[in-house]
Structure 1
Amino acid sequence: MPSLSKFLTDVRGLSEKEADWLQHLVGDWNLVSDLLRSDLVLWIQTLEGAQAVAHCRPATGSTVYYEDPVGIVLDEDTDSEIPALLNGAEPTRRPSTIEREGREASGLLVPVRKDGRTLAVLATESPVHDGMRSANEIHQHDLGSRVLRMLEAGAFPIEGAPIPPRRGAPRVGDGVVELDGGGVVQWASPNALSAFHRFGIEGSMEGITLAELSTEVLQSRSPVDESLPLVLMGRAAWRSDMQARGGTLSLRAVPLTERGERTGAIILVRDVTELRRRERELITKDATIREVHHRVKNNLQTVAALLRMQSRRMTSDEAREAVNEAMRRVSTIALVHESLLQGSEEAVHFDEVIDRCLRLAVDAASASVHREGTPRLTENQVEVRTEKIGRVGTIRAEEATPLALVVTELATNAVEHGLSDCGGTLTVRSERTGSHLVITIEDDGDGMGMAKPTGLGTNIALTLVQGQLGGTLTWESRPEGGTRALVEVYLDPLSI
């Protein structure tokens, strides 16, 4: 099924601003659906006829649709007001009895207008009530009807009123408070009353300004959001948190207008105490993890520096080379922990690690080579160029450390055994499809011929690929000369 944006793209004569308006409406129309306890269906005029392009089910009542109506097309001969309304006709503004999937329902059609032009038609459809509505349902329905009138007048959704992207956004089912133009409480739903009572507001709230009631229970030592007074008075379409008695209420204000004048507001309220507590715990945990990675990185770099100093005191070339290899491996692990410091989660952007592994491999692999762009220390040094093709993306920290060691070992082997005498190009190719990752490390040097790779670095790479990553590592000779090492693994998915 195409998305709303795809439907809107195919509508001729609909400007980008008008399409954004409809997208904004669909992004916020759950407020109307929950207040009216109705399904909402958005209809627009297409070349095929009136077409349903979006649907919303209420969270506060039962739905009349078992099947999603998106994609249904009505021609002009259909017994419905929708085509006429899309062509500019005036609505009847009276509910009508309709049938939805074998059941009787009540339907109301409202034109969606912007700057006096009808862009779409909103159909509200709800089950027929057998008995009397409760006072709570009547109040919510009246508030929903006022929002529908704003919709018809082009005043809803409220333009230029972004909602801060914080979790725990309140909805109608969490609690609703109705304010008049002066911010005085006219009515509060039972859930809203319970939420405010838990925060110290006792007795009835009606007839008192919400700002006055809230000021009495605000924590004086806690910082107060600058937008909170505007939200409590219903003067701005915004969201804000209010802290009291060690808890937190999330408040959202939706000003109500008629003929451009503010006549009141809807305040949605939700107790988000536990949610905010968990968010604070996550922030603390994230800071602790960052500090751990920072200290581990520093300790590993200290170990690498000590090994470097020790290698300079070695009189045996074999011992010096062994210490240098240990220093390079410790430095590679430190690279992963340094990368974890850059992100906000336990994941590594591995392409940056590859770049640094290549530099480390060439600089520390052999005294007979120098990396392209760096000065030549002796006249006999040959130049090694590095090239990275493709992207790995983000991987889990548990996989980044062994994979970085494997890339460094294979790159070091390529430089030492393939490029140390003649120089050339060291290339790393990455191909990732979902969880399947293939990394190829190749050089255009002398090649390994019929010899099989051996040595400590080879054994380390094989052990890490097969044991920790559950993959395969193979070598082959390149037809054009040189050696190619192929690493193939299946990564675990990142947890969001």
Structure 2
Amino acid sequence: MRDILVMIEDEEIKTLCREHTLLSDQDIEKIIEVSRTMQLHADLSKANVFIDCAHAKENHAVVVAEASPRTAPSIYEKRVVGNMAYQTFEPAVIYCLKTGNTMTSNRAITQEQKKVEQSVVPIRNEKETVIGVLIMEKDISDRENVQQELEALSRTTEKLSGLLLGDEENYPLVPDLMEEALFFLGKEGEITYSNPAAVNLVHELTGEHCEYGARLVGYLPEIESIVNADEELLVKELETKGKIFKAKKIRLPHQQKYNGMFLILRDLTDLREKEKELVIQSVAIQEIHHRVKNNLQTVASLLRLQMRRGIPEESKVHFVESLNRILSIASVYEVILSNSSIDEVDIYDLSKRIGEMLVYTSGHKVNISYEGDSMTVESGQAVSVALIINELVQNCLNYAFEGRNHGKISISFEQNGHEREVVVQDNGIGYKETDKPSLGLEIVRRMAEHDLSGSFTIKGDQEGTRARLSFPGERGET
């Protein structure tokens, strides 16, 4: 198979040379001989390799052979054998054909409009006459783009320097409006410019006047490590004279040389103090949540103790319901304490805690499942949602599975924009509107409408009961 391909390529070279060049048969054989080494050159150099020969009548060349690298992506998407190489785009090729001089690292534009680095070597016959050229091309489009971006960045930096610093006759305007202290330091760290905020800062911290030509580290020794750092761009916090600053250093190149730096100091003292206050408040709120949870669990423990000591049988159900309500509210605070947020509760997780607790304590063989995504609400809403979930699941356990001790309950969560929806579905006997409303459902309806500014519906059929709670994500949302 390989021999057949070589024969086809050889015939293609012969045909192109006879149609477009003045080469003799002996010269064409020399071109074919060189072409058989092209693939090796392409693979070793990771470049596209070509052979061009001078056109018989025109002042350009014709591509008679090519090899794409198997070790790197090819520059060309299509074969270019048989195409013309014009002097406008590839002057090095025509120059080498005419003079026999080697051209290396020359820039050219391919027929597919890509920028390449091109090296051109003459191919000579036995009489040392140039009969063609061997060309090696590497894509430098990315390299050129990077270089252009660097040059543009350098020009922008110089313009920015001029805009900010101006000259001695034109006092700069932009820095005067800055709240941050702006210094421009020379090569030795000397102050060559400082805006009014910088002058005031030095005077406030040291009581001294900011002198031009003085080294800034003489006033603020703590910034020495920043000034002397090798990084072109450096952002770092530092503390000096009882204040906290964010320091930004920008080294400015000028014609490939270091030309000083901008140093910007922003006072973060008040911000850090407020952050400390927020941390203290967060700790205090967490402690309040912890104490509320403990107090609720203490009340629950007292109810359990009273139930163990004995209560009338007809009162037992009311004690259990009250106990479950208290534990459901306590679950809200457990979720809050287990999360990083102090004011948001995942009601998916909350509902799982409540549902599993109720099923476990009921003694029924009920399978409870949860569907949908996590849904967070603020802690005030979470208490109402917890009580509603408690009442709906408790209602299922009390009435849905009459005559049997097994069944299914599913709780699903859905969020459409700002609207939150929770659906509790069972496969029990089905709720009837003629039934006398229970205290639990009355609690649910009141909380849904008054506490959550939402709505509550409940419907039953032969497949069970479906209770739906809908409410906005935050109080007051519509």
- Looking at structure 2, the residues matched to 441 and 494 of structure 1 have their Cα atoms a distance apart, in angstroms, of 25
What's the counterpart of residue 353 of structure 2?
Answer: 356
CA 1:118–1:359: 2 relative to 1, 3 Å = same
Q: 1:179 to 1:139 in 2, by over 3 A?
A: farther
Where 1:204 maps in the other structure, the secondary structure is coil
Query: Quick one: distance in 1 between partners of 2:400 and 2:170?
Result: 79
Write the distance in 1 (CA, Å) between the matches of 2:381 and 2:149.
55
Partner of 1:107: none
Q: CA 1:315–1:328 in structure 2 vs 1: closer, same or farther (change >3 Å)? A: same
- The correspondence for 1:238, drawn from 225, 234, 241, is 234
2:474 corresponds to 1:474:
no
1:296 to 292, 296, 310: 292
Query: How high is the sequence identity, in percent, across the aligned residues?
Result: 25
Give the secondary-structure state (helix, strand or coil) at the position aligned to 2:469: strand
Matched residue of 2:373: which SS?
A: coil
Cα contact 1:392–1:437 (8 A) shared by 2: no
Matched, 1:116 2:98: no
Cα offset for 1:173?
A: 5.4
C-alpha distance in structure 1 between counterparts of 2:148 and 2:475, whole Å: 48
- Match of 1:329? 325
- CA displacement at 1:344 relative to structure 2: 3.1
1:210 maps to which residue? Answer: 216
Tell me the residue number matched to 1:428: 411
Distance 1:134 1:454, change over 3 A: farther
**Pair 1:179-2:179 in alignment:** no
**Superposition map of 1:72-91 within 5 A:** none
CA contact (8 A) 1:422 1:445 kept: no
CA contact (8 A) 1:424 1:444 kept: yes
- What is the CA deviation profile of residues 340-380 of structure 1, one whole-angstrom value per residue up to 9, with x for unaligned ones? 2223342222221121121122123x23x1xxxxxxxxxxx
* Per-residue deviation, residues 210-248 of structure 1 (Å, max 9, x unmatched): 334223xx7xxxxxxxxx653344544332333344433
Please tell me whether residue 404 in structure 1 is matched to residue 386 in structure 2: yes
Cα distance in 1, alignment partners of residues 169 and 299 from structure 2: 69
* Number of residue pairs matched by the alignment: 330
- Give the Å deviation of 1:268: 1.1
Contact 2:453 2:476 (C-alpha < 8 Å) held by counterparts: no
Aligned runs of 1:92-111 on 2, under 5 Å? Answer: none
Say which SS state the counterpart of residue 389 (structure 1) adopts.
strand
| Structure 1 equivalent of residue 472 of structure 2 | 490
* Equivalent-residue separation in structure 1 for 2:437 and 2:237 (angstroms): 63
Equivalent residue number for residue 107 of structure 2: none
Write the deviation string for residues 89-132 of structure 1: whole angstroms up to 9, x where unpaired: xxxxxxxxxxxxxxxxxxxxxxx9764365997897x9xxxxx9
Alignment of 1:154-165 (within 5 A): none
| SS in structure 1 at match of 2:392 | helix
Mapped pair 1:188 → 2:188: no
CA change 1:485–1:273 in 2 (3 A) is same
Distance 2:255 2:446 in 1: 74
Quick check: 1:183–1:234 contact (8 Å CA) kept in 2? no
Displacement after TM superposition at 1:135 (Å) = 4.5
Please identify which structure carries the higher helix content.
2
Alignment of 1:8-23 (within 5 A): none
Verify: 1:438 aligned to 2:469, yes or no.
no
AA at the equivalent of 1:188: S
Match of 1:394 in 2: 376
> 1:35 — aligned with what?
none
Distance 2:420 2:437 in 1: 24
Give structure 2 stretches of 5+ with no counterpart.
Answer: 1-112, 116-142, 160-164
Kept in 2, the 8 Å contact 1:336–1:353? The answer is: yes
Q: Does 1:276 align with 2:272?
A: yes
Q: How far is 1:333 from its partner?
A: 1.2
CA contact (8 A) 1:436 1:490 kept: yes
Q: Which residue of 2 aligns with 1:251?
A: 247
Counterpart-to-counterpart distance in 2, 1:188 and 1:275: 24
Letter in 2 for 1:274: D
- Aligned counterpart in structure 2 of residue 313 of structure 1, from 309, 316, 323: 309
| SS at structure 1 position matched to 2:208 | coil
Change (3 A) 1:473 1:120: farther
Change (3 A) 1:246 1:118: closer
Paired amino acid for 2:198: A
Whether contact under 8 Å (1:210, 1:232) holds in the other structure is: no
Per mean C-alpha deviation after superposition, the further-off stretch among 206-215 and 388-397 is 206-215
Letter in 1 for 2:356: R
Do the aligned residues in 1 keep the contact of 2:346 with 2:377 (CA within 8 Å)?
Answer: yes
CA distance in 1 between partners of 2:263 and 2:201 (Å): 13
Deviation at 1:334, TM superposition (A): 1.4
> Structure 1 residue 440: deviation in Å?
0.7
Q: Is the 8 A contact 2:183 2:262 kept in 1?
A: yes
Change (3 A) 1:473 1:238: same
C-alpha separation in 1, matches of 2:256 and 2:334: 56
Instruction: List per-residue Cα deviations over 1:60-79 (Å, max 9, x = no partner).
Output: xxxxxxxxxxxxxxxxxxxx
Query: Shift of the alpha carbon at 1:444?
Result: 0.9
Which structure has the greater CA radius of gyration?
2
Moved more, 309-318 or 462-471: 309-318
Larger relative contact order, structure 1 or 2 (CA cutoff 8 Å, min sep 6) = 1
Partner Cα distance (2:224, 2:310) in 1? 72
CA distance in 2: counterparts of 1:398 and 1:203, whole angstroms: 55
The TM-score, its normalising length taken from structure 1, stands at 0.58
Change (3 A) 1:210 1:476: same
- Flag structure 1 segments of 5+ consecutive residues without an equivalent: 1-85, 89-111, 127-131, 144-170, 219-227, 370-382
Letter in 2 for 1:116: Q
- The residue type equivalent to 2:197 in the other structure is N
Compute the displacement of 1:478 (Å). 4.2
Q: CA deviation at 1:139?
A: 7.0
What is residue 162 of structure 2 aligned with on the other side?
Answer: none
Give the CA deviation at 1:486.
1.0
Change over 3 Å in CA distance of 1:229–1:361 after alignment to 2:
farther
Q: Distance in 2 between matches of 1:314 and 1:114?
A: 86
Report the residue type matching 1:292 in the other structure: I
Paired residue secondary structure (1:308)? helix
Question: C-alpha distance in 1, partners of 2:448/2:470?
Answer: 8
Do the aligned residues in 1 keep the contact of 2:348 with 2:413 (CA within 8 Å)? Answer: no
* Structure 2 SS opposite 1:384: strand
The aligned residue for residue 43 of structure 2 is none
Counterpart Cα distance in 2 of 1:397 and 1:137: 58
Once residues 317 and 117 of structure 1 are traced to their aligned partners in structure 2, the CA distance between those partners, rounded to angstroms, is: 88
Among 454, 458, 479, the alignment partner of 2:437 is: 454
Matched with 2:27 is none
From the superposition, tell whether residues 388 and 280 of structure 1 become closer, same or farther in structure 2 (CA, over 3 Å): same
State TM-score, norm by structure 2.
Answer: 0.60
